[in-house]
Structures are given as structure tokens and as C-alpha cells.
Structure 1
Amino acid sequence: MRGFVDNNLLLLMFSYLSSAVSSLYSSSCQLQGRFNLNGMHKTGDVILGGIFQINFFSADPDLTFTSEPQLPTCYGFDIIGLRQAQSMAFAIDEINRNSNLLPNVTLGYSLYDNCIQLRIGFRAALALVSGQEEEVTVEENCVGTPPVLGIVGDTTSSNSIAISTVLGLYRVPMVSYFATCSCLSDRQKFPSFFRTIPSDAFQVNAMIQILKHFGWTWAGLLISDDDYGVHAARSFHSDLGPADGGCLAYTEILPWGDDSAELKRIVDVMRKSTARVVIVFAHKTHMINLMKEVVRQNVTGLQWMASEAWASVDVLQTPHLMPYLGGTLGIAIRRGEIPGLRDFLLQIRPDLHHGNADGKSVVNQFWEHTFQCRFAPPPAGWVEAEGELCTGQEVIENVESELFDVSYLRPEYNVYKAVYALAYALDDMLQCEPGRGPFSNNTCAHLQRMEPWQLVYYLEKVNFTTTFGDQVSFDENGDALPIYDIINWVWLPDGRTKVQRVGEVKRSAFKGEELTLDEDKIFWNFESKQPPQSVCSESCPPGTRMATKKGEPECCFDCVPCSEGKISNTTDSMECTSCPEDFWSSPQRDHCVPKKTEFLSYHEPLGICLTSISLLGTLICVLVLGIFIHHHSTPIVRANNSELSFLLLVSLKLCFLCSLLFIGRPRLWTCQLRHAAFGISFVLCVSCILVKTMVVLAVFRASKPGGESSLKWFGAVQQRGTVLVLTSIQAAICTAWLVSASPVPHKNTQYHNDKIVYECVVGSTVGFAVLLGYIGLLAVLSCLLAFLAKNLPDSFNEAKHITFSMLIFCAVWVAFVPAYISSPGKYADAVEVFAILASSFGLLVALFGPKCYIILLRPERNTKKAIMGRCTTK
């Protein structure tokens, strides 16, 4: 409370008030001192007190240290303060004329001027609760101005805090019409404080809703260095954040006095800040000083938001300041209508008989201020007014004064509601039926012996509706049902200014807090005529997340793209969420899409190529088989076991066809069948080759003396049996593999995070290795036997062709193993298909190519004579 009063003076006042208020609880007391205060009074059965700001400047008298200090001299007459005081007088007069409210009680009033100074306001409160007479007796009717039962006031939060702290000790009710500090809602500290104006907590919440409505996430906050500003800042910092609309770019404290250096620094911070919205919680005098520096530095392009303390101040709504303050959005006290108030104000007449004991009458001050006259004799210590003597006959109706402008009643409407709240509480108390009262032993309060705390009890339960249609009641903290008007300062084309209502914010018992804005009516003081952008960082679009910048407020952040596999589908997302297992993030990272599936497909070029080659090989096998069947009686077909040749062609056809099982999306049956078919087909093929090789060796041995017996082991039955046995072994291996650890389809995400690779897991690596090993064993054995028989003197010796085919076969499958292991996904299947096709074509070409050449192109060599002659020549 810098600049108001020191602690010693407060302690002195407190001790005085304690002794003064004790008059309410003792039979009599002696007044410790009298104060010369500006005021106006009216007698009645019950007196209500009021503290108003009639003057807004004071001059301290010289201190001599030899006599008691005198009160400061008040000057700078405030017409609005007088209108508020007269609103209370009108409300009391209206209640006295109302036969339904307090019908047998006449209300009076004692209203004092606080000169917007705590030390004067505190003295006014002391005078109200103790009276101004030298001795006050409770049992008898008081002489002069009696103590009040309730006080309407004070005008500022700081004054209300100090006064209500003391009045609360004695439960003297105080109903403020202008003190908004949220700290006054503390019922433990201020048990008898009420107010008809919403607290700063709701005002701050209303501003936060406006910030959120326009997307302003980066705002500056200027506060006055008093309870009003400090508690507002606390509410902002506790309620405002990215989730609620943003954060504060700077929080500056306006100096109490005209500290030009401090104001220069504050405005310089505003000019350099990136925040385009400036919220100011301060009183009129602070804003006047601040705007002087704003104009000096020519700081424009700001969107101002005004607290109720200066949102309706006329002195700031001038054409000179409109380039800077035009378009201001303000939180204003609810505007109301008070029928009959203007007629009441026009009846104001001076008190020509008013003495100087209680100071100068506020009505007389108005008269002097309006008509520039003076009353004789002038009160001692006051500056004498210029002009002639006031007669009281001046025609007030012809005076153009702001006093009579009742079109925008805001604080006056709160004063009106405060008076009626006290009146309704008093009326409820007087209607109490004896024996059914709320106090001890079901007693009621009596007008002659009424105590202030009894009125507090009824004030907490008051509930009524004004003629304007507003409901008035108090919650458990003494706060009225909150409602604010949202106003806009409009700069008209002709240079004039006006303040218009563009919305409201209120809290209802059923719907909670509601913000209503008519954006079409709002004047924006920018070239675009649109709301400004006031953000520290632009909103992060979907697909990104917010990353707070180190050392900066929470609303200053970078937009970091979501990593692969994560998305954010909202603006300003704090985190990126992972996609489900079978989904992946879109390129924009704003939604999940099904992962691409990868397998060796019939529709891709590689699959089409392999399928075509497989079918081509099968077709060639069919053609060769057809040729052999057609020429089955020719010597070259019959020369080397035609039955095994036919069986070998069938097995090669199966080898070509089994490669198709490796193409297409893996299924359980294809995974189980592909390796079994592959293994059995190739074993059948290699078994036929092995038997053919063994037959060649047996025939050669039979051609030698004593070797005829070897042929009996390689007859047709033995050949078929050998092939069957060798193939059955592979079938058994496949069966054991499928039963113990069957291959199954698998969705593999190891190769690519954004793809699902469908593949067949072999199940048992041992089973797969045994299958390949068995084929390899037969192939190596065939190769060795064919190599041994390659130089045998046969008329058509196939040993050379078998050796060549087996070398191709073994080379292909030896190269297959490392290529298969190192190939991921579908390429492993492609490698295996390629190995199958390559080895199959190698066998087909090496074994049947020369025969088909002779059959089709050299038929003259396909005779027994040619074959025998060739043998003879050789």
C-alpha cells in the first residue's frame, strides 16, 4: 500500500476503531477524536453508511511536529463520485416510499468522501461505526448521527481490504460496489464483506475466454502496484496457460507515482515485445500516466484489453488517444437502469445552513464546482471558490453536467443493488416471528437492540430481483452472481469516439460461464479491420508436436514433425501417438494408413516374369514328353530306359509347377505345401537320374565276361522300386517336418517399418536343412557316378549329359544358400524360385536337349544302324 499510510498510523487507527466499535457492545463510550470529513447525511430509524470518491486528489498539510497533524486537503471534484453517492441517496429515498419494503422503518444515510486515500477512507469508516458525538449511549436514542448498521463501499480494493479487516472483527457488514480483488473472497479474513461487483478472479477468467476466442496465446500484462493489480496477476498466472489460451509475454508493474524512468522502461518493453495484445489491470491515474509515455514513444499497433477500473474512463476516450487506444476491448461493470434517478438528481439543492464541524458538504462542493460560486463564510482550510455567492436559486436544469447523464449507469447500478441488499436483509430480519428465529433459543433480532452480526446472517441469505431484471444474491464467499459487459472503444470517421457494448460474460447457476460476443460490432484499430494475431509461436499443424523452447514461456515452442510411425491429428498437439501395429503414418504424419504389404505377387514384374518362366518350363516339359511319346519306338528313345525318361520329364514338370507355390500371398496351405512339393519333386527327379546312371554302369559291367549277373539287380521293377524308396524317404522327412514344426505364414516388420512383409517361416530350420541336404546328397552321388561312367563305350552314353546336368544342379543350389540367407522378404522367395527354375532348366536342357535335337533335326541318326555304326567307327 505504498503512498497511502505507514504502519504506525494504521495501528493507531486500529486501536481507535477498537475502542470506538466497542460502543456497540457497552452501555456508553467516550469519543477519542473527531474527524472533519466531507459528507452528506439524512436521519432515519436505521442509518446506512457510504464511502465514495468525491474528490480524487489530496494535499498533505505541513507537519510542525508541535501539534496534531491535520487531515489532507481534498480537491479535484469528481462528478461521477457524486453521482454514485446520490444513487445511494436515491435508493434509500425509493425504499422509504415503498410500502412493501421496510414499511414501518425509515432509512437514513451518512455518506463520506474518501478522496481516494486510505487514511481518509479509514477515518470515514471510524466515523460511521462510532458516530461523531462526544458520548454515545446505546440504551437511549442516540443524539446526532447514530452508528450505522451497514456500510456501502469502499471504492478501491486496497481501502476495502484495510477497512473490512477491522470491521470483520465486529461483524459489521460492508457491501462494496467497486472493490474487485479476489483476495476479498477469503471468508476467514473478511467474514462480513460482501460485494455487488464480480471479483477479479471472474474478470480474469472473462479475459482468458476472450483470449481463447480470438486465438491470442501471447499477451502482455501490466498491473498496478497494489492489491488490485497484484492479485489479478496471481489469477492470470494460475489460470492462464497453453491449454487455456496462452501465456504472458511480460508482467510489468505500473508505478504509483509519475515515475517517468520506470514508465519509459515499461513502454520500451511493450514496443519491443512480439505480443500484440496488452492487458492492463490498473486505475485511471495509472493509465493516464502510462498513455503519456505511449504517445511520446508513438507505440501503436497494439490491441488493449481494459480491466473494469479504466474500461469506461472518459478522460482516456479522446481523439488524441484514439490512434493508440482505439478498438480497446474492456471488461465493464454491468450496465443497469435506475428509473427516476435523473429526476432525483435534478432536485439537488445546496445546504445553506451547513456548518463546518463535519467538513464541507459534498452537495455544496458540487454547487461550487458547477456554478463557480462560493458559500459564505468559506470553510477554514479550503480553497475559496471563485465567483459570486451561491444563493441556491440557480437553475440546475439548464446546466450541462455529467451528473445527469444516466444512460450508462455501471458503478451506480452496483450501489443501487448494494443498498437494496441491505434493505432486503433488514426487512427479512424484522419479519422474524418471535420464538421461530434463527438465533439462540429461537430468538429474533430487534430493531432497538440489533447487532451487526445479525444483519450479516440475513445478508448472506438475501435473494431478490431488481427492476432491471438482474438477480441479486451472495454465495458463501460474499460474492454476487457475476456478470460483466464487454465493451469496445469505437473511433468514428468524424473523429469522435464512443463506447459500445459488444457482448457479455456471465455465470449462471445452471449453464456455468457463458461468453457472448457480437464480432460484427467490434471496431478493430488495424488496417485489416480484423482481429490481430498475437502468438509467440504459430500453431503447430497436424503432423507435428509442440516442443517448448528452453528458457522461454510454455507458449513459445517449435513445431517438431512426428517421427515415422507416429501421428498427431490435432492442432498444437503436445505428443505424437504411435500407429497400431498394422498401420503406418502418412507422409504428412496426420493420420495412420494401412502398411504396405510386400510379397512375391503375380501382379508385379518379378512375379510375372518368374510365373511366365515356370509355365514355359512346364510347357517345354509337356512338349518333350509329347515328342518322346510320339517317338517312343525310335532307337534313341528306347536306348536308355524310356520309362525313367518319361518319369523324369513328369518330375521336371512338377518342379516347374511347384515354383508357383512360392508366388502369391503366403497362406498356411501354401507355406506347408511349397517346400514339401519342392523337396519331393526334386528328389523324384534326382532319383530318376541316379537310377539312370546306375543302369548305365550296370550295362557296362554286364558287357564284360562274368558280369551278366549285375543286370538282374537293375531290372524295371528294381528301377521303379529304387526311385520309390528314395522318394519315400524325402516324403517321410517332409511329413516329420510338417508334424513337428510346420511352416506358417508370418507378417514380418523387421525389414521395413512401413511395410508388412508376408513370408513363410520355415518352422524348423533343421527340417529345412535335412530336406535340402537329402536332395544335395542324391545330386552329389549322381554326379560322382555319372562322372565315373562318362567315358564308357556305349552307343549313346548319357553319362556325359548327366554329369553336366548335375554340375549345373549343384552349382545352382550351392549358390542358392548364401543368396537365400541374405535376401529379405519376397526376394528370398524369388531366389528360391530362381534356383528351382534354373536347376530344372539345367536338367531339362542337359538331359533332353541332345535327344530332341536328333529326333527333330537329325532323324537320320535316330536309327539302330546309325547308333551301332557310330559305335563301330568309334
Structure 2
Amino acid sequence: MIGSTVYWLVVLTVFRRFSSADDAVACTAYRELGDFTLGALLSLHGSISENCDTEISPRGVVHAEAMVWAIRDINSRDDILPNITLGFDIRDDCRSEDVALWMSLMLLENISPDAFKDACPVLPLQSNLTLSTSHSEHEVIGIIGTSRSATSIPVAQLTGLFQVPIMSFWASSNELSDKARFPYFLRTVPPDRHQISAIVDMIVRFQWNYIALIHSVDSYGLHGARELLVLAEQRGICIAFTLPVNENPTQKELSEVVAKLVRYRYAKTVVMFAALQVANAVLDHVKSEQPGLNITWIGGDDWGFDLTERGLGDIAQGSLFTRFFSQTVPSFDDHFARLNPASDSVSPWFTNYTQTKRSGVFPDHPSSDYVVSPVVDGVYAFAHALDSLVAELCPERSDCPAIGGASGEMLKPHLLRVNFTGTGGLLFFDENADPPGKYILKNYQKMENGKYGSVEIGLWDSQIATTRLYLQDDLIRWQGDSLEVPRSTCIPDCSPGFILVPSQEKCCWLCQPCNDNEIVVNSSECVTCEFTTWPNSNRSGCEDILPSTLSFQDPIVIILLLCSIIGLLLTILTAAGLIHYNAKPLIKAASRELSSIVLVGVILAFLAVFLLLIKPSQGTCLASEATISLSFTLTYAPTLLKVNRIYRIFKASRVSVRRPKWISPRKLMAMAGVLILIQILIIVVSTSVSPVQAQVTVPVTPVDYLELYCTFSYEFLASCAYNLALILVCCYYAFMTRRVPDNYNESKFIAVSVYSTLVVCLATVPVYVTAVAVVQKVATLCAAVLLNGYLTLVCVYMTKLYAVKFVPKQQQDVHSTRTVAAAGAMASPARLAATISQTVGGAVGSASVGQIRPL
């Protein structure tokens, strides 16, 4: 009673909405009756308003002929439904929910034949229609269709009231898997949950993590979008925006789509899970408003078949589509290619298409291009189920009255149990009356002939446990015929040394630079390298900095080397001069033995520069420290003894003519050896306790530069303190002998040398300590050592050689006489003569006393 009431409410509602249209196109039918009749609701036209007011659909025409071909093929076989004929009744649902519902009522007219007698008063039928008088009531055992989820939902609800199974070959909405609502709905295509999984797998494969979603406002689009949002969140895919579009979109809706695509410019991949006319309207508007967006469109199973015909090839180039798994049916293609409306039994839509539309041009393989397999397999599923039902009702299959009582309710369990190999592969149904998910993946691209077309690039199969997605990447062509996978991400590729930080825009990031001495970890953290390391070229790790040493191409180093070489040459020349003029009184008076030690110290000073400038190592650092320390000791220990000797001689001459002690060359050399030995012991002890190291500089600010140099330890100060003590004592005796007559025995020249050295040493310490660069430190130290050597050479020895070489002998004699005369003011002539005769040159008789004549 309740079912009858609902039925009549549906009838009245639909009749009122549809009867006013009086649409002769929708009332067209293609019918051929048999023992059992299969109805069909196919999309042979579209519906912009309430009527069938679009051009005829080639895909619908092919589907109609495929169904007829499958039924006639079954009727010609003896292994399935022997002695039983299948009939068909094909109607046009015009892709409209109202029309589909109306046509389904027309197919079920045997329930109340008088209810629709005036709905379609003139029902065009096939001219060679064969009617079976025993089945004049035209009872439909099942329905093939519809081709949309939006139309299948109301039709499935209606047919469920009358327990008539309906099997769709295209409706894939997840909503239709609800068996509580749609107990008599089956389909030969997988539900959208599989299709969405295939789309998401492709998105993940191409590393698109920032996409947009456009969907139609119907069951197909709404449920598909919801499933996509769930899977995207699970797989880490960010949806930049989701935009619903009505079935007949307005200009405002389409403009909003374009505005969103421009606004979210990094979402270069757009999943359009929408009905055919919605997708075409969006593409048309994008092409007219923003043709340069270069978007990779991902389409489902409902659109993308007529892109070339609509002139959308350029805007859709590079797009990816999921298509229900369908194999070519060669026998149908041959049959379809031979059809002739003039001689063959064809549908009125085929006749209309070939006469008025495109001269009847179809693809070379319509079974593949228009996905015929689900239609054919649906017909065969009914045939196998009927065969099973007939075998159950009539085991003997002859003269069985029980067949006349077969109904959809009886047929349903047999449909759910079918399991056979159809044209598209193995077909069976799960607990939701859904087949397994299997899709062909296609890429829309520009062909070699300049035209656009779809190329099969892979497969997705839900029954494969490991890798469901298989793609042939080399077959894919993207926008602009590019082979490079386009980017669709709001996460930029940061240059080395940058980390990703969140942006204010959803799911977007910005690149933020790290400090120069920091590496990037996990693209999100800056980690500081230790001061002796520096980031590598791609900022992924820290590498040891190769310490730099002084370059022999540096102008300062070149100058220091030249000064050292010149100093060595001058020292050698001085030594040669002293040896050559060994017998000269001025040379004898300079204490030849002590002078030889001083010259060795000067040579060490110049050699120390070389040790400081070469690449530092443990050995060179120890050698340079020892050489510097000894150079000063060898220079100023003998000098100290010389000025001390002069001081004692003139001091002793005032009170006695006796020769002072410890002034002989042998004893002076012994004392010099003791002073030098003390320095050697200091060096040995200091280097043992805290040896000098070759270390790197510690930069104040992090830089990719370290310098290797010899860091003299605090123990080195002991050597320096000892040498400073020698210099200070030299300064004292030089000061005390400042009044020695006429520079007697070089005391004033020694004073100039030690004073200057003391000033240089005092100036070197603060400069060396405060210098940052190694070249400054080394240059300061080298300069101090060089100045010490040059001051000693120039002030003490080169003046003597100059006098010996260039000053006439008479002036030297006068000089000696003046010296004695001046000294007479302090001592008696006899006492002074005796003292000088014993001490000049360091030995008695080493100078001619006869040359000293009192004035």
C-alpha cells in the first residue's frame, strides 16, 4: 500500500513537470520485444533547459547500437538462454533527472498501462519492429542505464519500489553503493572511491601537493569531492580551494572560477570532478579569459571526450583522465562500421546522426573511444543471470510455465552472483553490487599530425595489492608538448642556504636565508657549523676549512723576503769585509771574536724571516721560536760584553794602570757562551713544558677563512724577557759610556743600535697582540727581527768598514791621537798609555803605541 502511494505521487509530480514540455525528442524509442525485455536509459541528447535541446551525442548513439548488438549476439547463441529471446526498449534520458524519471515510468508502464496513454500519443518505433503477442504487456525484466549518477539516483529509487534491477554502465557516485537506499542498483563500472584513489595516486606520483578542486553540484561531483578531500588530507595534499559549479553555470560562477585560478596561481593542477557540460563551460571560459594559465587538468570519467570537437585542445593539452577500463571489441567495431541505415535495422538516432550530423563520421575504434565494454558487459550480466534463473525455474528448459512468473525480485540474487569474463575482463560484484576498480589512464596531447587526441599512458587496478598505479612516463606530454613534469606546489625550491617558513597563505611557504655559517637540516632548520668548519656548496653539511697560509705572491711577503735576502747578503759582505780588513786597527778594536758571534746572530735573524713565512708546522714553529730567541741572544750577549768591557776599562783607568779582569778574548768568549747557554736552556725548558703550536686564527665574526700560524705560548715570554734584560743592560752600559771620547771603541754606535732595538721591541708587542690578520702578526714580527739585524749591521759594523775603506789613514791616526789627548784629561799620559796598550784590540801590543802622541 505504501509503495503504491509513493508510486502515484511520483507519477503525478513527474507528469506535471514533463507533460507540459510535450517533447517529441524525449518520446522517441527504439524497441524490439522478446521473451524477456531489457529496458535502457541512454544519454542520446543533453538538456540545457527542461527539454532535450542539445545536439545528438555520438557516444549515446554508439552505446545504443552496442546494446542492440550484444542482445542480438546473445540471441544467436545456443550456450546462453537457448530458445529464449531477449528484447530491448531503449529510451533517451537527455541527461536530465526529470526526463530519466519519466522514461523509467514509461518503461514500467505494464504496472498501470492506462496511466500514460496520453503522455506520448505518437511513439516512434522501429519500422521493422517485431511484437510478440504473448508479451503484449511489454514487461521489462531489467534496465540498462543511466549514464549519469545524477539521473541514476532517482531512477534507482523508483525501480527499487517495483523491484526491477537497474544496471548502470557509467554512474559511479559513491552514494549509489548504499544498498539500503538502492537495493536493486548494480553497475558495471567501479564506484568513485576507486577513481578518486587513482587520481590521488597520480597526484602523489607527480609530487603535486598543492591543487585545486572544481566539482559539479550533483551526486557525482559532491560525493567525489568529499572523497577526494578525505584522501588528500591522508596523503598530505593541500587543496588550495574547492569550488562547486552548478549544472548550468552562470557567467558569475564561471568568472569566479577564473578569479580563483588566478588568485591561487601556484595550484597548477586542477581536479575537475564534474559533469560534461560543467567541465566544458569552465574550459570555454578559461580559454576566453585566461588562456595562458597553463593548468594541468585532471578529469574523471564524465568529460574530456569532445575536447577536440569543441576547440578546447590547446587549453586542455597535457590533461590527465581516468577512464573505466575498457578494451576494444573488434567484432562490434566491424559491425558498427558496416551499418547502413538504408538496409540495416538501426536505431532512429543512428539514422538521424548519419544524415544530419557530421556526415556520420565515427572514430575508427568506437568501442574503445566511447567505452563500450561496460554497456556490453551489462547486457551479458543480465543474460547470465536470466540463464541462471531459467535453469533454476526450469531445469529441463522445455515447456516451462514457471518462466512466465519470472520477475526482477527473482532475478536480483542471480545478478549478484554472476561471475564471467566479459569484454572488459572478469566481471563480478561485491557486497555493494560494485565491480572491482580498474581504470585506464589517458593523457590528452598534440599528436604528430597536429591534431589533439588521448593517448593511453597507464593503468590503475584496485586488486593489485602492492603497486596499483602503473604509468609510462615517456608517453606523457604536458602543456606546450613538454616532457618535464609541471609543478603544482606552494612550497618553493629554496636555493642552498635557505629554509622553508610558513607563509600567511594556506599551505604555502617562503624561503628564509640562514646565516653564512649555517647549514640547512630537513629544509626547516638552520644549524651553525663549528668555527673550524664551513657549509658545503649545497649547504647540506659542514666541511673543514682548509687553513690558508701566507702567499708568496702577497706584496708584503715579497717585501719581507727581499729585505731578508738583502740582509743576508749584507751580512755575508760584512763578514767578508771584517775578514779582509782583519789587520786594521779599527777592526781589531771591535773585538773580532765577539763580532763573529754577533754576525751569526744577525744571520739567524734574517733566516728567521724565512721560517716565519713558510707554511707553519710543528717543526717550523719550533725552529722559528728558537731562531728568533737565539738571534737576539747571539746579537746582544756579545754586545753587552763589549760595552761592559769599555765601561770597565775607562772606569779602571781613572784609579789604576792595571789591566781590568775578564777582558781577554778567551774569557769574553767564555762569558758569551754562558749567556748563550742560559738562553738555550730557557728554550729547551719552555718548548718542553708548552711547545709552540701551528694553530688557526679564531675569527671574530664567522667567515669561510682560517689562517694557519705559529702561536707562541706564554713560555716564549721567558726567552723574550731574557733577551729584553740583555738589551736593557746594553742600554745601561751604552748610557754610562756615552762620554767616552770621540766614539771610542764604537760605544756610541752600539748605543744607537740598542736604543733603536728597544724602541722597536716595545712597539712590536702591542701591534702583534692587537693584529687580527695573520699577515699583520707575521709582518710585525718579521719587521722587528729585520730591524734588529739591520740596526746591528749598519750602526756597528758597516760604519767601521766604511771608515776602513774610504777614510784616509791620516784621519784615522788623528782620530786616535785626539782620542788619547781627550782621555788625558781624565788620567796621566803614562797611566793611559799603559792601559790602552794593554786593552786596545783585546791584547797587549795589538796596537802601535807609537801612534799615540800627546798634544
Q: TM-score, normalised by structure 1?
A: 0.67
The match for 2:726 among 760, 778, 785 is: 778
Q: How does 1:714-733 map to 2 (within 5 A)?
A: 714-733=663-682
Matched, 1:500 2:453: yes
Paired residues of 1:168 and 1:193 also in contact (CA < 8 A) = no
Letter in 2 for 1:845: V
* Alignment partners' CA distance in 2, 1:771 and 1:78: 108
1:536 Cα offset (Å):
9.6
The answer as to 2:743 corresponding to 1:750 is no
Q: Aligned-pair distance for 1:113?
A: 5.7
Structure 1 pair 530/735, CA: closer, same or farther in 2 (3 Å)? closer
Amino acid corresponding to residue 276 of structure 2 in structure 1: K
| C-alpha distance after superposition, 1:526-545 (max 9, x if no partner) | xx999999989998686585
Residue of structure 2 in register with 1:252 after alignment: 243
1:413 is aligned with what amino acid? S
CA contact (8 A) 1:228 1:282 kept: yes
Report the equivalent of 1:871. Answer: 820
1:120-131 to 2 correspondences below 5 Å: none
Q: 1:712 aligns with which of 661, 665, 690?
A: 661
Partner of residue 120, structure 2: none
- What residue in structure 2 maps to residue 633 of structure 1? 583
Alignment correspondent of 2:372: 412
* Pair 612,811 (structure 1): closer, same or farther in 2 beyond 3 Å: same
Does 2:244 align with 1:262? no
Q: CA deviation at 1:325?
A: 6.2
Offset from partner CA, 1:86-112 (integer Å, 9 cap, x none):
423432443454566788997777766
Matched residues in 2 for 1:220 and 1:798: separation? 98
TM-aligned CA distance change 1:620 to 1:263, over 3 Å:
closer
CA shift for structure 1 position 226: 2.6
Question: Does the alignment pair 1:817 with 2:808?
Answer: no
Superposed CA offset, 1:165-215 (max 9, x none) = 999999999764323457879999999966436854266459859988xxx
Change (3 A) 1:164 1:716: farther
1:672 Cα deviation (Å)?
1.9
Q: Given that residues 417 and 428 in structure 2 are in contact (C-alpha distance below 8 angstroms), is that contact kept between their aligned partners in structure 1?
A: no
Against the structure 1 CA distance between its residues 849 and 114, is the aligned structure 2 distance closer, same or farther, given a 3 Å change threshold? same
Q: CA deviation at 1:816?
A: 0.7
Structural mapping, 1:401-550, within 5 Å:
405=362, 407=364, 408-409=366-367, 410-420=370-380, 452=412, 456=416, 459=419, 478-487=435-444, 500-507=453-460, 512-515=469-472, 550=503
User: Do the aligned residues in 1 keep the contact of 2:198 with 2:460 (CA within 8 Å)?
Assistant: no
Matches within 5 A, 1:309-320: 309-313=302-306, 317-318=309-310
Instruction: Go from structure 1 to structure 2 and tell me whether the alpha carbon gap of 1:188 and 1:84 turns closer, same or farther (over 3 Å shift).
Output: same
> 1:81 matched to which residue of 2?
60
207, 212, 221: which one aligns with 1:229: 221
Give the SS at the match of 2:707: strand
The CA distance in 2 between the partners of 1:259 and 1:539, in whole Å, is: 35
In the superposition, relative to structure 1, how do residues 152 and 851 fare at CA in structure 2: closer, same or farther (>3 Å)?
A: farther
Q: Please report how far the alpha carbon of residue 788 of structure 1 lies from its aligned counterpart in structure 2 after TM superposition.
A: 1.1
In 2, the alpha carbon distance for the partners of 1:852 and 1:425 equals 131
Matching residue's letter, 2:678: I
Contact residue 303 and residue 328 of structure 1 kept, 8 A:
no
CA positional deviation for 1:337: 3.7
Deviations 1:442-469 (A, max 9, x none): xxxxx9998856754665xx66665xxx
Which of 635, 640, 649 is the equivalent residue of 2:599?
649
Answer yes or no: is the 8 Å Cα contact 2:500–2:523 preserved in 1: no
Matched-pair contact (CA < 8 Å) for 1:224–1:230:
yes
Count of matched residue positions in the alignment of Structure 1 and Structure 2: 746
- Separation in structure 1 between the aligned mates of residue 797 and residue 388 of structure 2, nearest angstrom: 121
Query: What per-residue deviation string (whole Å, max 9, x for no partner) do you get for residues 142-182 of structure 1?
Result: 9988896x875442234557888999999999764323457
User: Where does residue 842 of structure 1 map in the other structure?
Assistant: 791
Moved more, 770-779 or 590-599: 590-599
Change in 2 beyond 3 A, CA 1:674/1:301: closer
Q: Quick one: distance in 1 between partners of 2:72 and 2:223?
A: 37
Q: Residue type matched to 1:826 in 2?
A: V
C-alpha contact 1:600 1:606 (8 A) present in aligned 2: no
Partner residue of 1:201 out of 192, 196, 200? 196
How far has the Cα of 1:734 moved from its partner? 2.1
Q: What amino acid maps onto 1:778 in structure 2?
A: L
Does the residue aligned with 2:552 lie in a helix, a strand or coil? coil
| Distance in 2 separating the partners of 1:681 and 1:51 | 112
Moved more, 669-678 or 114-123: 114-123
Amino acid across the alignment from 2:170: F
- Alpha-carbon spacing, 1:866–1:406, altered in 2? closer, same or farther (3 Å): closer
Distance 1:741 1:471, change over 3 A: farther
- Name the amino acid aligned to 1:814: L
CA distance in 2, matches of 1:164, 1:738: 100
Q: CA deviation at 1:257?
A: 4.0
The answer on whether the counterparts of 1:44 and 1:106 sit within 8 Å (CA) in structure 2 is yes
Deviations 1:702-729 (A, max 9, x none): 32335847x3244444423332232223
Shift of 1:644: 0.6
Is the radius of gyration larger for structure 1 or structure 2?
2
Contact 2:63–2:375 (CA under 8 A) maintained in structure 1: yes
The 5-angstrom pairing of residues 381-420 of structure 1 reads 405=362, 407=364, 408-409=366-367, 410-420=370-380
Residue 551 of structure 1 is matched in structure 2 by 504
1:671 aligns with 2:650: no
Equivalent residues of 2:443, 2:476 under 8 A apart:
no
Q: Return the structure number with greater helix share.
A: 2
- Could you tell me which amino acid in structure 1 is paired with residue 247 of structure 2? W
The aligned amino acid for 1:769 is: L
CA distance in 2, matches of 1:422, 1:775: 115
Q: Is the 8 A contact 2:318 2:443 kept in 1?
A: no
Unaligned runs of 5+ in 1: 1-7, 17-35, 61-72, 135-141, 351-362, 373-395, 433-446
Q: Per the alignment, do residues 448 and 273 of structure 1 end up closer, same or farther by CA in structure 2, a change over 3 Å counting? A: closer
Superposed displacement of residue 561, structure 1? 7.1
1:178 aligns to 2:170 (yes or no):
yes
Q: Are residues 643 and 248 of structure 1, via their aligned partners in 2, closer, same or farther at CA, if it must alter by over 3 Å?
A: same
Task: Tell me by how many angstroms 1:666 deviates.
Answer: 1.1
